[in-house]
Amino acid sequence: MTISSDSPLLQIDSLSVHFSIERGLLRRKVGEVRAVDGVSLDIHPGETLGLVGESGCGKTTLGRTVVKLQSATGGEVLFDREPISEKIQTARDVQLIFQDPFSSLNPRMTVGEAIGEVLRQHQIVPPEKVAGRTAKLLQMVELSPEQAHRYPHEFSGGQRQRIGIARALAVEPRLIICDEIVSALDVSVQAQILNLLTKLQREKQLAYLFISHDLAVVRQIAHRIAVMYAGKIVELGETEKVADDPLHPYTQALMASARGEGVTLGEVANPADLPSGCHFHPRCSLAKDAAGETASECATNYPKPIETDNGRWVACHLIPEVRTHV
Ligand SMILES: Nc1ncnc2c1ncn2[C@@H]1O[C@H](COP(=O)(O)OP(=O)(O)O)[C@@H](O)[C@H]1O
Ligand code: SF4
Ligand SMILES: [Mg+2]
């Protein structure tokens, strides 16, 4: 797969989102949840960046921050090299679709009305052209224009997700953040939606930030994959490399689990009470010697990400040992 070498469309630079934990009448701060902690990523026009990690690692918070539904506590997000905080246009340029499109569709509005509402609100076409554009958008997502007169409950899960995509496309975005959008669907319907996203990407040079807890799904669509653990990116690189030859012990565990191999990893790190050193160390077999002792550097220092290959980054102290461990 070739990716455009243009300058990045989206640049996420050392982004952090920490939530305060407050107690008592005076709402005293007693701690914080480090949902996103110093994440840097970029996405090019026409590229799909997959973001994968277990539930609670910060994926949704990251996506919501990019569309300004959540404010950052540190770092910045640039779109077209300008801070998103200063760009009004971002509301159109970047769209978010999430797992349950039904919750964002008004059950009393027909699908045509729901799409028409977006077209009118953003004045995408003059009022007399709304119906025609709505029909075209339904065709783009492989639904028929006649279905515009139906209500959301009359559609299947996969069709509702298509409607969600049509609504996002209505404003002619350049980047769509897809947050677990196929997670509730059967495997065959998942494949149809992934194919549709790929087709639309080719036609429109769209970029996607494709978020999922499932590495098997992400590898089907992403050009590059970023693996997130406890608010940080632990591995980043081209899909073939990350999925076929994972270097980080956490990516290796995710891959084994995607292959259906039973891996017992233990508890996910709690972002309100992160382990010292490498956040993955309590679950990492590579870090432990024969007696079960954790390597001291793993238990004390967070590993600095290292570029192991062109564009391939891994945050692990024991990278040289990784390959022999697989
Ligand atoms: N508004 C919030 N206030 C406090 N904690 C939050 C808030 N939103 C998310 N979190 C916490 O941030 C962490 C990351 O959550 P989330 O971004 O939803 O992860 P993911 O999408 O990877 O499952 C979780 O521990 C979650 O409980
Ligand atoms: S730094 Fe240590 S604990 Fe963390 S993934 Fe690498 S080997 Fe495991
Ligand atoms: Mg989520």
Going from the Cα of 239 to the center of ligand 2, the distance in angstroms, rounded, reads 21
Going from the Cα of 241 to the center of ligand 2, the distance in angstroms, rounded, reads 19
Please say if the pLDDT value at position 320 is more than 70. no
Tokens 């999925």 -> residue: 243
249 Cβ inside 6 Å of ligand 2: yes
Ligand 1 atom 3 nearest Cα:
19
Q: Give residue 324's pLDDT.
A: 47
Q: Give residue 2's pLDDT.
A: 43
182 Cβ inside 6 Å of ligand 2: no
Q: Give residue 7's pLDDT.
A: 87
Going from the Cα of 19 to the center of ligand 1, the distance in angstroms, rounded, reads 9
Average pLDDT over residues 41-51: 98
57 Cβ inside 6 Å of ligand 2: no
60 Cβ inside 6 Å of ligand 1: yes
What is the rounded distance in angstroms from the CA atom of residue 28 to the CA atom of residue 45? 44
Ligand 2 atom 7 nearest Cα:
287
- Rounded CA Rg of the chain: 21
Could you tell me which residues come within 8 angstroms of residue 78 by beta carbon, excluding any fewer than 6 positions away? 10, 11, 13, 84
Tokens 């994926």 -> residue: 59
What is the rounded distance in angstroms from the CA atom of residue 104 to the CA atom of residue 171? 16
123 Cβ inside 6 Å of ligand 1: no
Ligand 2 atom 4 nearest Cα:
278
Average pLDDT along the chain: 91
- Pairing mode, strands 312-314 and 232-238: antiparallel
Burial class (CB in 10 A: 0-12, 13-18, 19+), 257: middle
What structural domains does the chain harbor? 10-87+213-325 (3.40.50.300)
Better pLDDT: 322 or 196: 196
Average pLDDT over residues 163-182: 96
Please say if the pLDDT value at position 325 is more than 90. no
- Residue 32, Cβ neighbours under 10 Å: how many? 14
Going from the Cα of 297 to the center of ligand 1, the distance in angstroms, rounded, reads 28
Ligand 1 atom 27 nearest Cα:
56
Q: Which DSSP category does 7 fall into?
A: P
Strand locations in 204-319 (E):
207-212, 224-229, 232-238, 306-309, 312-314
Ligand nearest to the CA of 321: 2
Please say if the pLDDT value at position 171 is more than 70. yes
- Classified as helix, coil or strand, 277 is coil
Tokens 């990400």 -> residue: 305
Please say if the pLDDT value at position 54 is more than 80. yes
What is the rounded distance in angstroms from the CA atom of residue 320 to the CA atom of residue 2? 29
Going from the Cα of 36 to the center of ligand 1, the distance in angstroms, rounded, reads 9
Average pLDDT over residues 203-216: 96
Q: Which residues pair with 226 in a beta bridge?
A: 51, 236
Average pLDDT over residues 69-74: 95
What is the rounded distance in angstroms from the CA atom of residue 253 to the CA atom of residue 250? 5
Q: DSSP per residue over 117-152, as a string?
A: HHHHHTT-S-GGGHHHHHHHHHHHTT--GGGGGS-G
56 Cβ inside 6 Å of ligand 1: yes
Please say if the pLDDT value at position 326 is more than 50. no
- Are the CB atoms for 57 and 279 separated by under 8 Å? no
Which helix (H) or strand (E) is 102 found in, with range?
helix 101-104
Please say if the pLDDT value at position 74 is more than 80. yes
- Are the CB atoms for 269 and 35 separated by under 8 Å? no
Ligand nearest to the CA of 284: 2
Model pLDDT for residues 266-306, shown as the tens digit of each residue: 788 999 999 999 999 999 989 998 888 888 999 999 999 99
Predicted confidence band of residue 317 (pLDDT cuts 50, 70, 90): very high
Ligand 1 atom 16 nearest Cα:
58
287 Cβ inside 6 Å of ligand 2: yes
Model pLDDT for residues 226-274, shown as the tens digit of each residue: 999 999 999 999 999 999 999 999 999 999 888 888 666 778 899 999 9
Please say if the pLDDT value at position 3 is more than 50. no
Please say if the pLDDT value at position 116 is more than 90. yes
pTM higher than the cut 0.85: yes
Of the listed ranges 48-57, 63-72, 101-110, 286-295, the least confidently predicted one is 101-110
What is the rounded distance in angstroms from the CA atom of residue 9 to the CA atom of residue 82? 10
286 Cβ inside 6 Å of ligand 2: yes
Q: Give residue 264's pLDDT.
A: 67
Q: Give residue 26's pLDDT.
A: 86
Model pLDDT for residues 122-166, shown as the tens digit of each residue: 999 999 999 999 999 999 999 999 999 999 999 999 999 999 999
Could you tell me which residues come within 8 angstroms of residue 97 by beta carbon, excluding any fewer than 6 positions away? 161, 164, 165, 168, 176, 177, 178, 179, 181
Predicted confidence band of residue 89 (pLDDT cuts 50, 70, 90): low
